[in-house]
Amino acid sequence: MRHRTVSGRISYTSLKPEWAGRERGREWFSFTHHRDGSTIMRARCEIEEPAPSVLREIIYHLGPGGVPLNLHVHLTVDDAFMGSGWLRHDPATSTIECESFSPSLGRISQTVDANGGFDGFGTHPVVGDGFLSRVIDTARGPHRRTLRCFLPSPDHRGATPPLIAEVRIALEYIGEEERTVAAGTFATRHFRFVDDSAGGMGGTTHPDYDIWVTADDDCILVAGSIDGYMMNRYELVELERS
């Protein structure tokens, strides 16, 4: 085969006392990197805390040059179907379409003007957050810039029926660090998402979110940390590259 595959698993934990020493969720992911420069990201995410539970399945297609093209999402909340949807970006017309169905909203069709380029689709799996960091020019050294993304849900866990939501969030490059996790020791780049928007992401300010990603073109999330009301931790526990 002429493509290259990266796959693995990320463990979700919490610093909340009632979850000490226990896994609160997990994420399986894979990237298929094609010779033409396009990438398919797949992820299955299970979140048990906080309630209600969330099961999210994602397929994300980026074209050559990292251009976001389409995103599929299927969402189950508290073991009940929440919704499924498909977002498509047409670079020729600079539009984004959404076809979605959910029990609460029924069938929805949307088309919005993307108003030029944007940084990517926000997918909600944490491995997608790591991969999004590739848009930062780390050769400039530590700096911050605002990212413009379109999400299927502005909810901090993505636990609402799929609809187009535009979000702006700052991403700061902090520097290079070595991190050791269950999957091994990695040279990483440290980034921090900062929600400095006036109304907050989804109407609530997202706590600062630190991520460490492999210092290579794969940009695999090695570790993540969110404090504030979330108190979440993420750790790469399995990794395979072929």
For 79-116, the DSSP string reads: TEEEEEEEEEEETTTTEEEEEEEETTTEEEEEEEE--S
The pTM of the full predicted model, rounded to 2 decimals, is 0.94
* Tens place of pLDDT per residue across the chain (242 aa): 689 999 999 999 998 888 888 899 999 999 999 999 999 999 999 999 888 999 999 999 999 999 999 999 999 999 999 999 999 999 999 999 999 999 999 999 999 999 988 999 999 999 999 999 999 999 999 999 999 999 999 888 889 999 999 999 999 999 999 999 999 999 999 999 998 877 776 677 888 999 999 999 999 999 999 988 888 999 999 999 99
How deeply is 2 buried, as exposed, middle or buried, from its count of CB atoms within 10 A (0-12, 13-18, 19+)? exposed
Say which residues have a Cβ less than 8 Å from residue 48's Cβ, sequence separation at least 6: 24, 25
Structure tokens at 110: 């949307």
Give strand pairing partners of 109.
Answer: 99
Comparing CA positions, the residue from 51, 217, 23 lying closest to residue 9 is 23
Report the pLDDT value the prediction gives residue 198, as an integer from 0 to 100: 73
Report the pLDDT value the prediction gives residue 103, as an integer from 0 to 100: 97
Q: What's the full length of the chain, in residues?
A: 242
**Number of alpha carbons in the 13 Å side-chain half-sphere of residue 62:** 24
Q: What is the DSSP letter of 201?
A: G
Tokens 């902090």 belong to 174
Residue 192 to residue 129: CA distance in whole angstroms: 10
Q: How many helical (H) and strand (E) elements, i.e. helices and strands, does the chain have?
A: 1, 15
Report the pLDDT value the prediction gives residue 197, as an integer from 0 to 100: 77
147, 68 contact by CB (below 8 A)? no
Query: Could you tell me the CA-to-CA distances from 189 to 24, 92, 176 in Å, in that order?
Result: 26, 33, 4
Report the pLDDT value the prediction gives residue 116, as an integer from 0 to 100: 87
Comparing CA positions, the residue from 158, 121, 129 lying closest to residue 222 is 129
182, 192 contact by CB (below 8 A)? no
How deeply is 12 buried, as exposed, middle or buried, from its count of CB atoms within 10 A (0-12, 13-18, 19+)? buried
CB atoms within 10 A of CB 20: 9
